[in-house]
Amino acid sequence: MGPPHDAFAEEGARARRALVRAIEAYGALGDPAWKAAFAHVPRHLFVPSYYVAGPGGYERLWSGDPDPARRARWLSGAYRDTALATRVRDGELISSASQPSLMARMFQALDVRDGHDVLEIGAGTGYGAALLCHRLGDDHVTTVDLDEEIAESARAHLAAAGHRPAVVTGDGARGCPERAPYDRIVATCAVGSVPYSWLGQCRPGARVLTPLSTGLLLLGVRDPGHAEGRFLATSAYFVALRGGGARPAPPRRTSGLPRRVGEDEGFAFLTGLAGEALDTREALALWQHEGRPERERFGVTVSGGRQWAWLDDPAGPYAWPLPEP
């Protein structure tokens, strides 16, 4: 049985072509297989409603709005190259649809190949899983979310688009051992450190990509006890991982700093990565001494039951322990 009738199919196809052109403009669709996935998967099916921030709070746009103008706004927004707030509870954002061009960069960095088995941490709307399904086939994709309501919604969206991967309700910090081993793990929620269970569910040579601090960490996995890698150049802001293994991000420290420093993304990344290992003045001195280092100079090593972040060299002078997951 194919996907159900889509009332917005034609308009969505036109908008999707424009989205693909926008992503290409960022240089994030070098792999033809990923270009085909973004060109084919109808994002509007995964965001039947979302919230737009305004001066009075969040405004909800949805596909069933009786006002044609608001429906048009909804469809146009669904294909804008931006993140979309999809679930808000008591004024707090708990789930969102990631920016498509950022997703393209992430998938490209993962170097997904035919036959790979991929675990996605954070099902969200199901859109990421649908792109993976188009690239690899449904049987090679597993997506997990702590929230049963979110998981069920993702499952319904995927079915509407004609895909049926494994959608599992569970604690993302624990991975999904019943579907292991995996060649790639990609997280769409921020962590304070790397859950060891992820590495234990990887095949040797696997890659793990996860948001950490305000960056994207790409790890190469040698075996369950060792992984190492660097951050991608791009910044990234994701909703925090929830569950038993989740740790909140450290508070951003800007007190007493010049405004240009306190608002600098690179400095915020450093302080988020170093956590309590550096106080504000130490972080500022390091940041200035090293010439405001870019994200890709930083990395993380997981080895021997511990993990640490570092600048330039895992065994160098600038290294900070990450909290135990």
Q: Which residue numbers are catalytic?
A: 95
Laid out side by side, the sheet with 84-89 consists of: 57-62, 49-54, 84-89, 92-97
Q: Sign of the C-alpha dihedral, residues 165, 97, 51, 245?
A: positive
DSSP H helices in 26-146? 32-40, 68-78, 100-110, 127-136
Q: Give the helix/strand (H/E) hosting 13.
A: helix 9-25
Check if the beta carbon of residue 153 is closer than 8 Å to that of residue 185.
Answer: no
DSSP per residue over 89-119, as a string?
ETTEEEEEEPPHHHHHHHHHHHT--TT--EE
Check if the beta carbon of residue 298 is closer than 8 Å to that of residue 219.
Answer: no
Rounded CA gap, 231 and 211, in Å?
9
Backbone phi, psi, residue 25, to 5°: -60, -25
